[in-house]
Amino acid sequence: MPFLIFQSLGAPELLIILAIVVVLFGATRIGDIGKGIGRGIREFRRETREGQEEAKEKEEEKEAAKAEAGEEKRG
């Protein structure tokens, strides 16, 4: 139900909202806000990627340890 409001927004409404945002924040401030959001997204993606790589490395270490333990039992 909360998304029903977005169905009634057309081009004129979006232009009015954009004009209000520009008046409130100013054009240069909007650019700074955009840069900050972009940096945040890049940081989030980088941290997510690093976390996935660390998890993969830990999983590989566990598999290697299991393989070594299996070989010690045989030998």
SS (H, E, C) the chain: CCCHHHHCCCHHHHHHHHHHHHHHHCHHHHHHHHHHHHHHHHHHHHHHHHHHHHHHHHHHHHHHHHHHHHHHHHC
Q: Note the pLDDT of residue 58.
A: 93
How much is the average pLDDT of 3-28? 82
Q: Does the predicted TM-score (pTM) go above 0.75?
A: no
Q: Note the pLDDT of residue 59.
A: 92
pLDDT tens-digit profile of 28-63?
888 888 899 999 999 999 999 999 999 999 999 998
